[in-house]
Structure 1
Amino acid sequence: MVSIDNEAALASTPARETALACLRAGIDAARPDRVVADSVRLDGDVLHVGDATYDLAGVDRIVVVGGGKAADGVATALEGVLGDRIDAGVVVTPDPGDGDRIDRVRGHHPVPSAEGVAGTDRIRDIVSDAGERTLVLAVITGGGSALLPAPAEGISLDDLRRTTDALLDAGAEIGDLNAVRKHLSTLKGGGLAQLAAPATVASLVFSDVVGNDLSVIASGPAAPDDSTYEEAFSVLDRYGVDPPAAVRDRLDRGAAGDLPETPGPDDPVFERVANHVLADAFTAIDAARSVARDRGYGTCVLSSSVRGEAREAALTHVAVAEEVTATGNPVDPPAVVLSGGETTATVRGDGVGGPNGEFALSAAVELPDSATLACVDTDGRDGSSDFAGAVVDGDTVSDTDAARRALADSDAFGHLGDRDAAVTTGPTGTNVNDLRVLVVE
């Protein structure tokens, strides 16, 4: 079970205690051990993955490859299900543990590292050797885009890092960011499926993407890709990013038709590929809703797809709190309003911030006295900070001018950290985007 540091101090009111309990339940519900136990089982020679079945009697080898923030936990859970039927495996993850059949390799997020490149090279070797009677279990979880770097010909790791950094600082949404990264990599944008063909590929997906777009989650290693070199170029222009010369040259050649595009929906490499979304934002929201109901609150799911600038989306949640208090719409108080998704925070200064920190502080400036808001990134790390998120109410901000200055300097946690508001969990071992709990008494 995930633990929240200093929870006794954070839970200083019944509403705060409820909000934190909902957060904890949501994160726990998306942890790999629970998700895999509910979704994957072995019955004789038949492997069940979600609603699909795989006859292992026709399989000579089972290999497990992939990466992301939940990859270590998924690998451990798969070893528990399949044991020594796993012949080989490598996953790349930020906090690797020890495995019996699947090697764990450290990588880094959000900016790719040399260690991630080395781990991805090992994955490429394994899947390149796969044959028609091989079952590839591809572990695809949030964070995989950065953790599974495989620079394309002519692109260096430094080129990837500089381009990724610039897009993150510009507030690029994940789909836009990945459209670029897929065209600078050999594994993303269906590249894993392409390398593994003609093997059977079953992807076990933990979605950190609004709408569960398989081509965007971890940049879609086993999913068809509709994005193009030309689109990647337009993303850079839209966010005002001037990439390294090697990146611009590759995108130029691709847009001119001198390089092959990533495999699209009609490509035969996907004939034996299936992607199974085992957990997503609603997994966490549903568990949080159950806790709220058990505590006697009316509940409402505002959306599992909230996106855009965090400080702007926060004001919408403030408006909902005001409406619940004033009119009982969309739910009578006492109420818990839930949302998920992924907001962004454009970097404007050199403070310690992140989307959930900005969301919480922006909301705290205007929250009515009846409302408490808690929000976290379910992976335990919000933006570039070491915090997961924050819990705030009408008493959190006493100096609105100072709070607004902190927001202007991208220093939300600098302001919240001194006010018993920052939530710290450490790495949670999962990643299904943001979770927000709005309690209205």
Structure 2
Amino acid sequence: MDKKQLLKELYRVGVEAVMPKNFIPLNISLEDNILKIANLNYNLEEYENIYVIGSGKASIDMALELKEILKDRVKKYLVVSNYQKSVEGIKIIQSSHPIISQKSIKAAEDIIDEFTMMSERDLSIYLLSGGTSALIEKPVDGVSLDELSELGKMLLESGMDISKMNVIRKSLSKIKGGGLLEYAKCDGVVLVLSDVIGDDLDTIGSAPLFAKPNDISAIKILKEFHLWDRVTDGIKEALLKDNPKNPKRSFPHIIMASNSHALQMIDRYAKELNINSKIVTNSLNGDVKDVAKKITKSVSDLEYDLLLFGGESTVKVAGVGKGGRNQELCLWVLKQMREDLNFYFLSAGSDGIDGNSDAAGGVVGIDDLDESIDEYLKNNDSYHYLLKHNSLVKTGDSGTNVMDIMIALKE
């Protein structure tokens, strides 16, 4: 197996580890009438009805695995995803991602209707994964769908990290930041597939069922990224007015899997292959150029053959090309390779989707470096550079999402 193929195989092992078919049976079991979810126990005899509701890129497969355990004990399964699939017994709503649309509002209304119908004697099991922020939305009064959609595009192109984006999203939404709790009388638990650094429950999916005030104001963030003067008057008025949410509780949240799980499995597999490997960090973040420098420095400084990284870089989009943060990161890392710092590098999204492309990311070696690289970077066209060198990583939608996986293998 050549070096690029080895990196693709290691990436596959990491993604496989955080698939719902693996982490749901590992964390959940049913014995008699006791549903065990990690360290929590639920006596199902105490509930009149059980509902499974979900949103996110992994919600369909999470629901499928839970259905294998709970079978006909559940009154209704309803999940919102970024793709459609026909599954007997599960109502699947296809919504929009990464930019909200009318589908996002309709999906949110369907979920609100379900919670409104549940009583104090019912149990809701909510399946939460990345993508939820766009898939379900109910704007605050005075802000239109078009305004939120246009703001969403600005945020994605700004170079802002996900936690700051979600502060703004929560401030303009009736269901984010614990807002969905205001419609819930039932008991509940949230099963979480983490797609954020630090597994911050206040950030994952914009926290529809986790109540916590924002630590920083949305206005301050918009000003920091020079966006305040670009947003509409409706958004400004809504943020100046503030829309406090006052839920009296949060549902317990259980992290089912995260980026660290994926890296641990890659590390274990590499060691089985007698490769001297090390997990460097699962919290890489910041501008893609800075992340590339950190990775290259680690390769230079650390005495390991294989280095593993997790996290999510950001790209400030100025061009009109095709690509995403993982593909662009590959090019910035490639630019720093030289004969005395020769290694192979893969960066790919665990969800199988990178930016505005059909690729998950890329895998590069020093032989892929040519003088045209700066022109492609200037136009944010990393996809076509990697395509030219047969260096794209393509998997299609993976059905999971735990941020990005980055692997460096020394020559």
Q: How far off is 1:114 after superposition? A: 1.5
Q: How far off is 1:419 after superposition? A: 0.3
Asked if 1 retains the 8 angstrom alpha-carbon contact of 2:140 and 2:238, the reply is no
Q: How far off is 1:123 after superposition? A: 0.4
One-letter identity of the residue aligned with 1:371: F
In structure 2, what is the Cα distance between the partners aligned to 1:154 and 1:82?
42
Structure 1 runs not aligned, ≥5 long: 1-12
Identity of aligned residues (%): 28
TM-score (norm 1): 0.89
Q: Does 2:69 align with 1:86?
A: no
Asked if 1 retains the 8 angstrom alpha-carbon contact of 2:325 and 2:355, the reply is yes
Find the residue that maps to 1:23 and give its secondary structure.
helix
Asked if 1 retains the 8 angstrom alpha-carbon contact of 2:53 and 2:124, the reply is yes
CA-to-aligned-CA distance 1:82-138 (integer Å, 9 cap, x gap): 111111232110113223333110011110121222121110001112222111111
Find the residue that maps to 1:126 and give its secondary structure.
helix
Q: Match for residue 383 of structure 1?
A: 355
Asked if 2 retains the 8 angstrom alpha-carbon contact of 1:87 and 1:101, the reply is no
Alignment counterpart, residue 197 of structure 2, candidates 186, 204, 210: 210
RMSD of Structure 2 on Structure 1 (CA):
1.5
Q: Match for residue 3 of structure 1?
A: none
Q: Match for residue 262 of structure 1?
A: 245
CA-to-aligned-CA distance 1:310-349 (integer Å, 9 cap, x gap): 122112211222234xxx2xx3xxx211010111111021
Q: How far off is 1:368 after superposition? A: 4.2
Show the 5 A alignment for 1:345-356.
Answer: 345-356=315-326
Q: Match for residue 249 of structure 1?
A: 237
Alignment counterpart, residue 132 of structure 2, candidates 140, 144, 148: 144
Show the 5 A alignment for 1:94-133.
Answer: 94-133=82-121
Q: Does 2:379 align with 1:404?
A: no
In structure 2, what is the Cα distance between the partners aligned to 1:389 and 1:155?
35
Q: How far off is 1:290 after superposition? A: 1.8
Q: How far off is 1:439 after superposition? A: 0.8
TM-score (norm 2): 0.96
CA-to-aligned-CA distance 1:130-155 (integer Å, 9 cap, x gap): 22211111111011101111222222
Change over 3 Å in CA distance of 1:269–1:129 after alignment to 2: farther
Q: Does 2:297 align with 1:319?
A: yes
Asked if 2 retains the 8 angstrom alpha-carbon contact of 1:373 and 1:392, the reply is yes
Show the 5 A alignment for 1:24-423.
Answer: 24-197=12-185, 199-227=186-214, 231-241=217-227, 242-254=230-242, 259=243, 261-263=244-246, 268-270=248-250, 273-324=251-302, 328=303, 331=304, 335-369=305-339, 370-399=342-371, 402-423=372-393
Change over 3 Å in CA distance of 1:66–1:244 after alignment to 2: farther
Q: Does 2:399 align with 1:429?
A: yes
Q: How far off is 1:262 after superposition? A: 2.7
Q: How far off is 1:224 after superposition? A: 1.9
CA-to-aligned-CA distance 1:32-79 (integer Å, 9 cap, x gap): 111112111111111111221111110111111121111111111111
One-letter identity of the residue aligned with 1:262: K
Pick which of 40-49 and 219-228 moved more. 219-228
Pick which of 87-96 and 19-28 moved more. 87-96
In structure 1, what is the Cα distance between the partners aligned to 2:85 and 2:405?
26
In structure 2, what is the Cα distance between the partners aligned to 1:17 and 1:343?
24
In structure 2, what is the Cα distance between the partners aligned to 1:384 and 1:274?
35
In structure 2, what is the Cα distance between the partners aligned to 1:423 and 1:352?
14
One-letter identity of the residue aligned with 2:408: L
Asked if 2 retains the 8 angstrom alpha-carbon contact of 1:79 and 1:100, the reply is no
In structure 2, what is the Cα distance between the partners aligned to 1:92 and 1:244?
29
CA-to-aligned-CA distance 1:410-430 (integer Å, 9 cap, x gap): 111121111011111111000
What number of residue pairs does the alignment pair up?
A: 407
One-letter identity of the residue aligned with 1:288: I
Asked if 1 retains the 8 angstrom alpha-carbon contact of 2:350 and 2:401, the reply is yes
One-letter identity of the residue aligned with 1:268: K
In structure 1, what is the Cα distance between the partners aligned to 2:254 and 2:68?
19
Find the residue that maps to 2:296 and give its secondary structure.
helix
